[in-house]
Amino acid sequence: MYIPRENEAAIDRMLTQGKVVLVTGARQVGKTTVLRQRLSSSFDYVPLENPRYYATAREDALLFFDNYSLSLIIDEVQRISKLFGTVKFIVDQSDRRGQLVLAGLQTYHLMKGMSESLAGRIRSLEMAGLSLRELIGTSGSGAYVPSMLERTNAPTLRENFDLWVASTTGPCRNSRTSRRTGKPSGRDMSMRTLNEAFVTSSMSAMR
């Protein structure tokens, strides 16, 4: 099942701004899935992890591009850094935007080659893994902070509790202990308790 990503709109927008769009990110964050889901109807897809495509692109980049018509997605582009000079020549044959989408790991050689060869022609996007908001299907923008959901044994936060202060300082050195229970008082909640509260609310929201 495909999970819609918040960066889909950014990819669409970049295709109208530059001749080339570069999508980078760590392995398994969903680069290929998003691009094929979003662009498969109008873009051909060529993965350089395929030995046949890799050999052709490495030996003769112009011949490689002669085999395809733009618009085109080239995946695992970090495998052949010398391809970028040819990409510049190919996209400069037309003023049309959104001709080529490149996807790969964000390595030093990849970014260096892009900045030197495709300056002024390229828009780039770095993808992260699925966010909690994407997982539970909540739309919106900006930081997402899940609300505390009711649970019989969920920790209780006092009114006006400052999550940022608690998360950066942890338990107070001079923490107050309840004389009756011998446990830390409510306002000295530890990071462990905060994490339990966060995970509890997050998992409940995804059910």
pLDDT, one tens digit per residue, over 62-121 is: 999 999 988 999 999 988 878 888 999 999 999 999 999 999 987 666 677 676 778 888
89: in domain? yes
pLDDT, one tens digit per residue, over 52-62 is: 999 999 999 99
User: What is the phi/psi pair of residue 46, to 5°?
Assistant: -130, 110
Q: What is the DSSP string of 14-66?
A: HHTT-SEEEEEE-TTSSHHHHHHHHHTTT-EEEETTSHHHHHHHHH-HHHHHH
Number of compact structural domains in the chain: 2
198 and 97 both lie in a single domain:
no
91 and 34 both lie in a single domain:
yes
Q: Nearest Cα to 77, choosing from 35, 123, 114? A: 114
- Give the per-residue pLDDT at 45: 96
- Give the per-residue pLDDT at 201: 47
- Domain boundary (112, 136, 160) is at 136
73 and 99 both lie in a single domain:
yes
130 and 168 both lie in a single domain:
no
pLDDT, one tens digit per residue, over 147-169 is: 654 455 555 656 666 666 665 66
122 and 202 both lie in a single domain:
no
88 and 38 both lie in a single domain:
yes
179: in domain? yes
pLDDT, one tens digit per residue, over 117-141 is: 788 889 999 999 888 888 887 766 6
93 and 166 both lie in a single domain:
no
Helix, strand, coil % over all residues of the chain, rounded to 5:
40, 15, 45
Mean residue pLDDT of the chain comes to 77
The contacts of residue 128 (CB under 8 Å, 6+ apart) are 25, 29
Bridge partner residues of 126 (DSSP): 24
Q: Which residues form the domain of 157? A: 145-207
Q: Is the pTM of this model over 0.85?
A: no
